[in-house]
Each structure stands twice: as structure tokens, then as C-alpha cells.
Amino acid sequence: MSETPHGALERLAEHGRRGFPHLLAARRRTETDLADVQRRLGGIPLDDGASVVLMGSWGRRERTSGSDDDFLVLVEGEERDARPRVDDLDRVLGHGTAKPGTRGTFGAQVFVGPLVRHIGLDDDSNRNLTRRMLLVLESLPVVGTEAYRDAFTRVIDGYVTGHAKDFRPPRFLLNDLIRYWRTICVDFAGKAREEERKWGLRNAKLRLNRKLLFAGGLVPVLLCHEHRADHQRSFLVDQLQAPPTDRLAHAFLRFDAADPGVRALGAYDRWIGMLDDPDRRAHLTGLTRRDAADDPAFRDVRRVAKEFEQGLLALLFETRLGPLVREFGVF
């Protein structure tokens, strides 16, 4: 079977009857919207080594009607005056309801030097970690594609060069990936203590979108064990440029677990359908932890999340990936 994960979701869909209509519609929406944003940003001033990069649902190629614009202006090297400025993008990205999150992680200029240099220790802030991992796991360039590819490769290099060993998963990247996933989980609880608002939607995204993000990164990192150290960079670049749903679909197919794969990504597909329903999304957004326990809509979320997780666990523990997870995933 094909070594590359690109297009694997469609191939997995052929093993079921329902297919993944919501996911594939969200991909089409992402492509259409991306072309529109690229057209509108065509004339912006762009320094050499600068790119505009989309993350979140854009990067996962799963835009729905309520998606926002998590974007960064990514610039090579160290902090300086660079173009485009965030203001240059105002009319196209992040306005109105598409405004990126309120914590300042997105909608900013980010310089690749510190992003790569500060991996771990005090200078690797939560924000730095988040930006770096999302660049690796779910990013999509709008303009400055070449600069984006260079930055993406530099970040991978930061984890692999001088660290990777032949036929072993790169531990540095693996540990940072696991740290990031656990950080997301801990931060969810922290946010929930700060404010009850949005608990329902945040919890649902933790159970589904964030888990997809983590598992979709974990699988290619583990699969590096099949490669010599000098091939791991190109392997990871190819794998991680595919949407995470393709990476997971590819793994389900490759490890003879098409049935669980169809169920897992079928459950995720139903979740994308829920997210694309404005009323249901608004309902989940307004749901507090206390109300969620007996809420029928949240019960549906719990069910699809459980089915999704069960599929991922089967992939990670009941296939030939199992020994790798055991050997490298805990200690």
C-alpha cells in the first residue's frame, strides 16, 4: 500500500457504507475558503522568509460554519520589524466571529528562531509550545509557501538533527508531543476553573479535535522507528503535511484495522456534522459542566467521543503499533 498518507481518508471511506460526508464537505469548504483568502491576500507586502499560516480547523482541513481563523505571521530568524504586520491582514483574517482565541496565541507575528531555540526550559512558554506544536501538527500556508516549508522543516530539524537514532522514534519530539497533549488536558481544567462558560464545547473539542491532533502526531512519530535517522526528517515532513485525518486513516489501513478505522473516523465525522450545526454548536457553547451530565446533545457528544477513542486505542494497542506504544509511549 501507499507510503504516503495523503488521500487516505477517501481510501478508508471505501471500506464503509456511509463514508465521511461531513469531513469531506469540510475539506471542500477549507479548499474553497483557502483559495478565497489567498486571492484576497495576493497583494500584501511580504518579506523574504515570511508567511501567513493557518492553524486549528484550517490546518486539520475541517472548517465548518462556526470556525474561526487561528493564524500566525511566521517570519524566519529573530524578532524584528517585518511584513506583513497583523494589521495588514485585518480585513481578510480574524474579523467578526472568526476572531482567533482571546489568549494571544494567534493573530500575531512569530519568529522561527525563538520557536526552535526555546524547546523546553523556562523560555519555552505555554504560548511558544502551542505555536510550535500546532505548526508541526496542523498548519496550512496561505501565502509565502516556500518560507513556510522552510520554517516547518527547521522546526522538525530542531527535534531530529543531533537527536534522532536509526530505527528509533525521535524521543525529543515524542516527549514534546506527549507533553503538549497533557498540557492541553491540564489547561482545559485550568480554564474550567477560571470560567464555566464554554465548558461544553471545550470539553467536546478536548475529547475529539484535540485527541485527533495528538494521535495524528503520535502515529508518524512512532513510525520513525522504521527509518534511519537521516531519513526521519523527510518522512516526518511528508507525513505531517497531510491532514491528521489522513494520517490516522492511513494507519488504520496499513495496520489492517479498516473496520475500527471506519467506526472511529465515522464517529469523528458525525462530530464535524454536529459542529457544523449552528444551533447545536451554540447549545454546546452555553453548556456548563453541571448541565452537561443530563443533556441529550452532550450525551451524543460523549458517545461519538467514546467511539472515536475506542478506535484510536485499538489502533495504538491492538495492532502492530502496540509494541511501539508500550516501548516508547510511557517512559
Partner 1 sequence: MVSSPIAEARSVAAHHPLGTSTGHLTELRGQWDMLVMRARDVSTMAVELAALAEPEFLSLCDWLADSGRELPFRFLSVHAPTKQRSLPEPELVARLLALPSTVDAIVVHPDVIDVPERYAPLGATVVLENMDTRKDDGRTAAELAPYFAALPDAGFCLDVPHAHSIDPTLEEAHAMLDAFGERLRHLHVSSLDADSHHVTLRPEDEAAFAPILGRCLDVPWILEAPLPTR
Give the interface with partner 1 as residue ranges (CB under 8 A): 15-18, 255-260, 262-264, 266, 293-294, 296, 299-300, 303, 306-307, 310-311, 313-314, 317-320, 322
- Residue 236 or 292 having the CB closest to partner 1: 292
Q: How far apart are CB 17 and partner 1 at their closest, in Å?
A: 6
| Angle separating helix axes 145-160 and 126-137, nearest 10 degrees | 110
Nine-digit cell string for 145: 509557501
Bridge partners (DSSP) listed for residue 141: 53
Question: What is the pairing mode between strands 140-143 and 108-111?
Answer: unpaired
Nearer to partner 1, 39 or 306 (CB): 306
**In angstroms, rounded to a whole number, what is the distance separating the alpha carbons of residues 89 and 42?**
11
Between 144 and 311, name the residue whose CB sits nearer to partner 1: 311
Residue 13 grid cell: 471511506
Other CB atoms within 10 Å distance of the CB of residue 91: 10
C-alpha cell at 101: 482565541
> Which residue number, 72 or 275, has a Cβ lying nearer to partner 1?
275
Shortest separation between residue 290's beta carbon and partner 1, angstroms: 13
Q: Of 58 and 308, which CB lies nearer to partner 1 in the complex structure?
A: 308
In one letter, which amino acid is 183?
T
Q: Which of 6, 16, 7, 4 shows the shortest CA–CA distance to 261?
A: 16
d(C-alpha 257, C-alpha 321), whole Å: 11
Q: How far is the CB of 30 from partner 1 (least distance, A)?
A: 24
Asked if 204 and 271 touch (Cβ cutoff 8 Å), the reply is yes
- Using CA atoms, how far apart are residues 330 and 327, in angstroms rounded to an integer? 7
Phi, psi of 71 (to 5 degrees): -130, 155
Nearer to partner 1, 84 or 260 (CB): 260
Closest approach of Cβ 325 to partner 1, in Å?
A: 12
The CB-of-294 to partner 1 minimum distance in angstroms stands at 5
Q: How far is the CB of 22 from partner 1 (least distance, A)?
A: 14
Q: How far is the CB of 15 from partner 1 (least distance, A)?
A: 6
Helix axes 211-223, 229-240, angle to 10 degrees: 150
CA diameter of the chain = 54
Q: Between vectors from CA 112 to CA 108 and to CA 116, what angle results, nearest 5°?
A: 125
Instruction: Report in angstroms how near the CB of residue 266 gets to partner 1 at its nearest.
Output: 5
- Give the ranges where the chain is alpha helix by DSSP (H): 8-13, 21-40, 112-117, 126-137, 145-160, 171-194, 199-205, 211-223, 229-240, 244-254, 258-275, 278-285, 289-292, 296-317, 322-328
User: Whole-number minimum distance, CB 10 to partner 1, in Å?
Assistant: 16
53 vs 272, which CB is nearer to partner 1?
272
